[in-house]
């Protein structure tokens, strides 16, 4: 990927990074969450190739097991529709994270059909167009953060989408502000606490304004104030999202439906109509 030459330079003083140095005319203050471009309308246009009434994501008869391990998915079926916030719960080792990785093409089923944005994805190359359209928050933030500073990590996705330096600077400032991270641009990523890394990792996903969010334990390691802010932001976004969490109260407040992953398939959670 092509990025500005000094993007990976570790800043030693404020303003040392092209992402944190304001242009000649000062940028406007970051807008509130309600003014985020992803929040300005109640729904996004249907993705190319996807009929308005069809699911954004559809899986049928998925079978999968890791080598030398018992079967993980045994005939799993799933659908996600536009604008739907769907929670997933399940015991450790039930396959929740594997399911999210499969939607990005990082894990391939031994059998079954995966259809995303109206297109069947059967080979690893079929998933190449999804980064940026689908945003994945990894369970381990260290898997998501690899640049020297917070600004560079948050900027990586937008630069890969072809945004200019000025556009990316605005996106970084706005996204950090929405998560309560104003002034964090020059902070060194590896020195952050686990909870701080979690917020920055979420910022890297939201900065790309994806059409679908896959969130693996988005509030893990956060204090109550930060967790409430993340919940408020997610509730405000129009994107469809799949949220894996052990926090059932959090999911009941936020999600339209909740599914339990057990014995290789999804079951409806009894209180799935919490937001109806």
The packing angle between helices 194-206 and 150-160, to 10°, is 20
Q: What is the pLDDT of residue 121?
A: 96
**Residues sharing a CB contact under 8 Å with residue 194, sequence separation 6 or more, in sequence order:** 141, 221
Which one, of 274, 169, 210, lies nearest residue 47 by Cα? 210
β-pairing, 57-64 vs 111-116, is antiparallel
Q: What is the pLDDT of residue 221?
A: 87
Residue whose token pair is 């059967």? 122
Q: What is the pLDDT of residue 271?
A: 61
Cβ-based neighbour number of residue 265 at 10 Å: 16
Q: What is the pLDDT of residue 54?
A: 83
Residue whose token pair is 């952050």? 192
Written out in words, the top-level CATH class of the domain with range 57-266 is alpha beta
Q: What is the pLDDT of residue 47?
A: 44
111-116: strand order across its sheet: 73-80, 57-64, 111-116, 119-120
Largest CA distance in the chain: 60
Each domain of the chain, given as residue ranges in start order, spans: 57-266
pLDDT averages per 10-residue partition of the chain, 276 residues: 40 47 35 34 40 83 96 96 96 96 96 96 93 93 94 94 94 93 94 92 94 95 90 92 96 95 94 50
Instruction: Return d(Cα 236, Cα 42) in angstroms, integer.
Output: 9
User: CA-CA distances (angstroms) from residue 272 to 100, 205, 252?
Assistant: 20, 26, 7
Q: What is the pLDDT of residue 19?
A: 60
Q: What is the pLDDT of residue 41?
A: 30
Cβ-based neighbour number of residue 133 at 10 Å: 16
3-state secondary structure the chain: CCCCCCCCCCCCCCCCCCCCCCCCCCCCCCCCHHHCCCCCCCCCCCCCCCCCCCCCEEEEEEEECCCCCCCCEEEEEEEECCCCEEEEECCCCCCHHHHHHHHCCCCCCCEEEEEECCEECCCHHHHCCCECCEEEECCCHHHCCCCCEHHHHHHHHHHHCCCCHHHHHHHHHHHHHHCCCCCCCCCEHHHCCHHHHHHHHHHHHHCCCCCEEEEECCCCCCCHHHHHHHHHHHHHCCCEEEEECCCHHHHHHHCCEEEEEECCEEEECCCCCCCC
CB 205 within 8 A of CB 213: yes
């Amino acid at each position: 990927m092509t990025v500005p030459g000094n993007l990976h330079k570790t800043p030693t003083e404020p303003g040392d990074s092209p992402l944190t140095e304001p242009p000649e005319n000062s940028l406007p203050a970051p807008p509130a969450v309600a003014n985020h471009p992803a929040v300005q309308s109640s729904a996004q246009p249907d993705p190319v190739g996807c009929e308005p009434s069809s699911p954004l994501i559809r899986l049928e008869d998925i079978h999968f097991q890791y080598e030398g391990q018992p079967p993980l998915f045994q005939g799993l079926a799933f659908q996600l529709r536009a604008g739907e916030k769907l929670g997933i719960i399940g015991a450790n080792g039930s396959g929740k994270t594997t399911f999210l990785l499969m939607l990005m093409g990082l894990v391939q089923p031994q059998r079954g059909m995966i259809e995303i944005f109206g297109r069947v994805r059967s080979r690893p190359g079929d998933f190449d167009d999804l980064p940026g359209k689908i945003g994945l928050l990894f369970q381990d933030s260290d898997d998501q953060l690899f640049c020297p500073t917070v600004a560079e990590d948050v900027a990586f996705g937008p630069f890969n989408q072809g945004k200019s330096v000025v556009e990316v600077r605005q996106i970084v400032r706005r996204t950090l502000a929405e998560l309560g991270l104003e002034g964090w641009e020059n902070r060194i990523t590896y020195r952050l606490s686990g909870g701080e890394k979690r917020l920055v990792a979420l910022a890297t996903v939201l900065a790309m304004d994806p059409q679908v969010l896959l969130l693996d334990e988005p509030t893990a390691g956060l204090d109550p104030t930060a967790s409430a802010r993340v919940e408020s932001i997610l509730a405000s976004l129009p994107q469809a999202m799949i949220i894996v969490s052990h926090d059932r109260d959090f999911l009941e407040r936020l999600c339209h439906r909740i599914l339990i992953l057990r014995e290789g398939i999804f079951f409806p959670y009894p209180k799935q109509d919490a937001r109806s």
